Amino acid sequence: MFSKVLKWAARIVLGLVVIVLTVYGVFNFIFRQHASKKYTVTVRNIPIPNDSATIAEGRHLYEIKGCGECHGADLRGKVVVDDPAIGRIAGNNITYGTGGLPESYDNTDWLKALRHGLNTANKPLLLMPSEEFTRMDDHDIAAIIAFCRAQPKIDAPSIPIEMGPMGKILSVMGKIPLFPAEKIDHHKEQPNQVAKAATKEYGQYLAASCTGCHKPALTGGDNPVPGAVPVANITSTGHVGKWSQHDFITTLRTGKTPEGKQLQVKDMPWNMTAQYTDEELTALYLYLRSL
Ligand code: HEC
Ligand code: HEC
């Protein structure tokens, strides 16, 4: 009697293991299909100046677009996610030092990475938010590239990306945005230059950097990082609707909201928004208030 029960229990456990492995196998297969998809794109080449004013603009953009969050302030690369279940994801060394970009990595390759989310083999770059960068105008993209290319070479190994089982499953389910290339309209041409001024139009242009977390409509919702705090609604129907321009600027520079909440950099990256100029924050405020 007892051995019969044991036998059945063993069969059930074995059956469950087989089911779990099969399901995981399917997820793994779909993940590989996404990761190995090869794209055909025509990169529109634009001139990349190398004067000091452009490089300085590029430095500011490198800071406000959060490149340093994943590639480090000095471009040597940085581990972004390191979790046994999710995986290890690191932005690579994007200097021309040993372990970084090869000497042959040219302006077309930079544009392909930033505007199309693809590597030199035309395969998707993981996690790199190119669906936001692709919305930048020629002037700004050129300035970022000019800045990056002007940085000193650093010898530091790029840490290879290794996805864990949970990371693959969540990405296939669309819970973590691993394949920005899939969200890009690869034929869309960006304007030459958007007018920089304290206007809501310029605010809309800048808000591309907020949509990854606050969602395209900026009304917030689930956090793209599994298990993290929900993302706030930052349109006029949220707290921002009650804030003065001064409140808004102070919040984005200090992380302290008028309601007395201290935003944590790991949730809301105000270390990044603190780098915006007054003009940029005013433009963002005007745009968000118009929603
Ligand atoms: C959220 C993290 C994140 C941010 C922000 C980010 N990157 Fe990346 N980037 C990555 C990761 C991860 C890779 C490696 C992806 C891969 O190899 O699949 C990468 C790769 C690259 C590459 C190498 C492409 C190649 O062909 O190997 C370049 C160049 C680059 N990023 C530039 C930038 C610049 C410039 C910015 C800011 C405008 C930026 N990145 C912002 C995560 C990020
Ligand atoms: C990496 C994800 C991320 C990005 C990028 C991001 N935010 Fe946030 N933001 C959050 C999260 C999460 C919260 C809620 C934090 C909390 O409740 O503690 C938040 C909160 C806020 C708040 C406070 C809202 C309130 O009701 O108190 C403002 C304002 C804000 N974000 C503005 C912006 C703007 C403007 C941008 C773009 C320039 C931006 N955020 C980019 C994740 C992000």
Running DSSP on this structure, what letter comes out for residue 89?
E
Pocket-testing residue among 37, 43, 62, 70, ligand 1, by greatest number of atoms within 8 A of Cβ: 70
Please say whether the beta carbons of 232 and 238 come within 8 A. Answer: yes
- Per-residue model confidence (pLDDT) at position 1: 63
- Which residue's CA is the nearest one to ligand 1's atom 36? 67
Residue stretches of the chain with pLDDT short of 50:
none
CA of 232 to the centre of ligand 2 (A): 6
CA of 253 to the centre of ligand 1 (A): 25
Whole-prediction pTM value?
0.90
Amino acid making up residue 69: E
Ligand 2 in contact with 268 (CB < 6 A)? yes
Pocket-testing residue among 125, 131, 163, 211, ligand 1, by greatest number of atoms within 8 A of Cβ: 125
Q: What number of CA atoms fall less than 13 Å from residue 101's CA on the CB side?
A: 21
- Per-residue model confidence (pLDDT) at position 113: 98
Q: What is the mean pLDDT of the chain?
A: 93
Correct CATH for 200-289 of 1.10.760, 1.10.286, 1.10.10, 2.60.40: 1.10.760
* CA 258 from centroid of its chain's CA atoms: 28
